[in-house]
Amino acid sequence: MFNSAYLSRGLAMYYSLEDHCNDFHLYIFAFDNDCLTVLLNLKLKHATIISLKEFEDDELLAVKPGRTSGEYCWTCTSSTIWYCLKTYALDHCTYIDADLLFFSNPKGIMDEMNEKSILITAHRYTAEHDQSALSGYYCVQYITFKNTAEGLTALNWWRNACLEWCYKRFEDGKFGDQKYLDDWTTRFKGVHELANIGAGVAPWNVQQYDLLHKANKIQVLDTTFLKEDELIFYHFHDFRYCIKKSFRLTAEQYYLSKAVIKDIYKPYIKALVAAENKIRTINKEITFHEPLLNFDWIKRVTGRRVTFIFKGYYRNYYKKRKLI
């Protein structure tokens, strides 16, 4: 689910699935009219586009006025899964964040889930970035429910909990829709925590991995536990469009190596540019920029924990093939 500000990210994610998986279907909840219009006009082969008018029920509309747009999106997460399972009679449904990019086929995730009814992914924080106490041990980025008694029991509990309380603050052991997942492996039956480290690589955990290239694929190696898996998806948390045609890759508390920028972030920027070009053929007025402080400087890659800014026109950035 996303609005027009996240449209390029959502489309980049969709096309990355097309690149790596020929058997999938994405149910996209368009959270504003510009987003809805573009998506309907694109006629995406592997997608069903759902408007807010179709999706929102009386329970959601009742809590909507008292929540920010971000909080309302979190409130809706579980309801989007519930809606898809019930409306389209699906045997399973996976919620995925719009700011993911797939680097390989996610089939291995489903295979690992096997007979379990619910799949959740841990943040896998590096020690210096551990925010489990506030943000939760698990991440609502890729979460699967099967249309079984076990799956629906957990999903219905989560949905009701989010309708009752879902705010961007830590309160009584809760935070948004995410802290609710902390005890699911003991609260509910049929819950599987994903072991594959190639799914859910993100700014808060990438520091603990080495990236290896094998047979045109990126492998993620955990050097501490000597575990290696193919990179399936990366979560581009806090990736921002900035002013003056520049990007902020992530908040400055996360260090990104040159290898991560080259092998993961540069392909993402390329995917965003391709998505933007498709969007512009339908609506040239949509903006993807978010208001930030007026950055009129550039931090170079120095090995320190810094904020990275890519500045300049996209086409020139790729032509030069270097960071500035």
pLDDT in tens, 218-231: 999 998 888 999 99
* pLDDT value of residue 290: 53
Q: How confident is the model at residue 252 (pLDDT cuts 50, 70, 90)?
A: low
Torsion of CA 18, 21, 25, 26, to 10 degrees: -60
**What is the C-alpha to C-alpha distance for residues 116 and 277, in angstroms, rounded to an integer?**
40
Percent of the chain at pLDDT > 90 equals 79
Q: Using the structure block, give the residue that is written with the tokens 């249309």.
A: 147
Round to whole Å and give the CA distance between 83 and 98: 18
Q: Say which range, 26-35, 155-164, 200-209, 252-261, has the weakest mean pLDDT.
A: 252-261
Rg of the chain's alpha carbons, rounded to an integer? 19
251 has pLDDT over 80 = no
Confidence (pLDDT) at 310: 41
Of the pLDDT bands very low, low, confident and very high (cuts 50, 70, 90), residue 314 is very low
pLDDT at 225: 84
Mention every residue, 6+ apart, whose C-beta is less than 8 A from residue 92: 85, 144, 145, 146, 147, 151
pLDDT at position 242:
65
Return the higher-pLDDT residue of 298 and 194.
Answer: 194
Per-residue pLDDT, 152: 98
pTM higher than 0.85 for the full model? Answer: yes
CA-CA distances (angstroms) from residue 127 to 107, 149, 172, 200?
30, 37, 24, 16
Percent with pLDDT over 70 in the chain: 86
Using the predicted structure, report yes or no on whether residue 246 has a pLDDT greater than 50: yes
Structural contact between residues 200 and 206, judged by C-beta atoms closer than 8 angstroms: no
Please give the average per-residue pLDDT across 261-280, as a whole number: 93
3-state secondary structure of 174: strand
| pLDDT reading at 298 higher than 50 | no
Q: Phi and psi of 216, rounded to 5°?
A: 65, 20
Q: What is the DSSP pairing of strand 118-122 with strand 138-146?
A: antiparallel
Distance from C-alpha of 133 to C-alpha of 224, rounded to nearest angstrom: 23
pLDDT at residue 208 in the model: 95
Q: Kindly state the average pLDDT of the residues 1-26.
A: 96
The pLDDT-based confidence of 317 (bands split at 50, 70, 90) is very low
Given a cut of 60, is residue 308 above it in pLDDT?
Answer: no
Q: Quick one: pLDDT at residue 241? A: 75
- pLDDT of 149: 98
Average pLDDT, the chain: 88
What's residue 296's pLDDT? 32
pLDDT of residue 307: 39
